[in-house]
Amino acid sequence: MKKELFIRLLSERRFKELKEDLMTMKAVDIASLLSQLDDKEIAIVFRLVPKDKAAEVFSNMNSSMQSTLVEIFSEKELRELLDNLYMDDTVDMLEELPANLVTRILNVTPQNERNIINQLLNYPDDSAGSIMTTEYVDLSPEWTVAKAMNHIKETGIHKETIYTCYVTWQRKLIGIVSAKDLMTSDDNTLIKDIMETELISVSTHTDQEEVAGLFRKYDLLALPVIDTDNRLVGIVTVDDAMDVVIDEATEDITKMAAVAPSEKTYFETSSFAHAKRRIPWLLVLMFSSIITGSIITKYENAFAAIPLLVSFIPMLMDTGGNCGSQSSTLIIRGLALDEVHFGDFFRVVFKEFQISIIVGIVLATANGLRIFIEYHNSGLAIVIALSLIVTVTLSKIIGCTLPLFAKKIGLDPALMASPLITTLVDTCSIIVYFNIATTIFKI
């Protein structure tokens, strides 16, 4: 529905029509509409949202809107909301809310749920434990399909997914049964006869990137999370895995641009916070590139003799930087997608060397010809052509090896991207260039 129409209905207090509109809208869309209203209006509209949708709308709001609502809710409303929120959404909310509101929420939570919440809050960021939910369908191996279906009918509504059911024995995970298997099996079949026992599972401390990798590889809808005693403690669902995939890509892309990653969107981050995330690497890189500058001063005689030499510095530096970034980017992405590994070191270097030769010769020929035509100076053409070939090769070798080494020593390969590579390659290209120039021109 159009936002304008909605706001008109709201200002004219035509609540009945509003309520009807809210019935047909998706929860995400209601949340995004609410984000455009002021605090007072949010509260009014939220109370008009149909009961069965309220929790989902709430979990799609940003934390400042959630705070507003928690603050004004009566104890009864709060309890009702918490009853319908999935455990993982409750925990996500608690991680963002101010302390006084967290206390408010925990006060209306029953003791047993409070224990689960506290445990979930303690899992490290980016671990399977931090993204899992504790609401799953639990079956006994001795049940029949009919009994299992009945169990789902009675309890399934409040489970985050019923499409993968978990068969446990003394709390230990012993098998899984998909809803597809249940729906296509005879009523009297025993669960233990149709359950799959070759299980893919992760531990609470498994990194979320690895979790997402398993979803991708095995096309899963849900993944069980077990503790050290093989007891089932929760599940990760595919929608959360999809969010992880996107967040991890964003994190890599941001890191590759020398920005410290943030979990908030561009506009949610304040200008000051943006500056804080960008300054550290800029400082490091700025001071590193001073080295390149000081190397240039060593060749003062060279460019005092032939001032034209200076004008090729940007072209060589840029080309080197670009070549290095191309290689490092492809390797960083390959590592992230598990397509390239440290064990491939020599294969990668050999491949990049081959590529460098082709790329170097093409660039050198193009630029050498241009220089010869423009300046009628074959010496200069040769200096630039040779410098290009060496720079391209060096850049690509540096670009492909650094991410691999970073991975090997446990650093994030994404840090070895464009900015750092550019700075390193700059120094190399300047040294190569002036050495070739002074040799050929005998300066």
Segment 100 to 119, residues that bind a second copy, using CB under 8 A: none
Q: Given the complex with a second copy, which of 227 and 344 has the nearer CB atom?
A: 344
| Least Å from the CB of residue 324 to a second copy | 10
| Least Å from the CB of residue 101 to a second copy | 26
| Least Å from the CB of residue 71 to a second copy | 26
SS3 of the chain: the string is CCHHHHHHHHHCCCHHHHHHHHHHCCHHHHHHHHCCCCHHHHHHHHHHCCHHHHHHHHHCCCHHHHHHHHHHCCHHHHHHHHHHCCHHHHHHHHHHCCHHHHHHHHHCCCHHHHHHHHHHHHCCCCEHHHHCECCCCEECCCCEHHHHHHHHHHHHHHCCCCCEEEEEECCEEEEEEEHHHHHCCCCCCEHHHHCECCCCCEECCCEHHHHHHHHHHHCCCEEEEECCCCEEEEEEEHHHHHHHHHHHHHHHHHHHCCCCCCCCCCCCCCHHHHHHHHHHHHHHHHHHHHHHHHHHHHCHHHHHHCHHHHHHHHHHHHHHHHHHHHHHHHHHHHHHCCCCCHHHHHHHHHHHHHHHHHHHHHHHHHHHHHHHHHHCCHHHHHHHHHHHHHHHHHHHHHHHHHHHHHHHCCCCHHHHCHHHHHHHHHHHHHHHHHHHHHHHCCC
Q: Given the complex with a second copy, which of 70 and 430 has the nearer CB atom?
A: 430
Our finding on whether 426 is near a second copy (CB under 8 A) is yes
Our finding on whether 95 is near a second copy (CB under 8 A) is no
Q: Given the complex with a second copy, which of 105 and 406 has the nearer CB atom?
A: 406
| Least Å from the CB of residue 116 to a second copy | 22
Q: Given the complex with a second copy, which of 119 and 322 has the nearer CB atom?
A: 322
- Residue selected from 102, 190, 351, 415 as contacting a second copy according to rule CB under 8 A: 351
| Least Å from the CB of residue 44 to a second copy | 23
Our finding on whether 5 is near a second copy (CB under 8 A) is no
Q: Which of residues 9-68 bind a second copy (CB under 8 A)?
A: 24-26, 28
Q: Which of residues 366-395 bind a second copy (CB under 8 A)?
A: 366-367, 370
| Least Å from the CB of residue 336 to a second copy | 9
Specify the stretch interacting with a second copy by CB under 8 A; choose among 83-91, 223-231, 375-383, 422-430. Answer: 422-430
Our finding on whether 340 is near a second copy (CB under 8 A) is yes
Q: Given the complex with a second copy, which of 206 and 426 has the nearer CB atom?
A: 426
Our finding on whether 201 is near a second copy (CB under 8 A) is no
| Least Å from the CB of residue 197 to a second copy | 8
- Residue selected from 2, 38, 229, 272 as contacting a second copy according to rule CB under 8 A: 272
| Least Å from the CB of residue 8 to a second copy | 22
Our finding on whether 423 is near a second copy (CB under 8 A) is yes
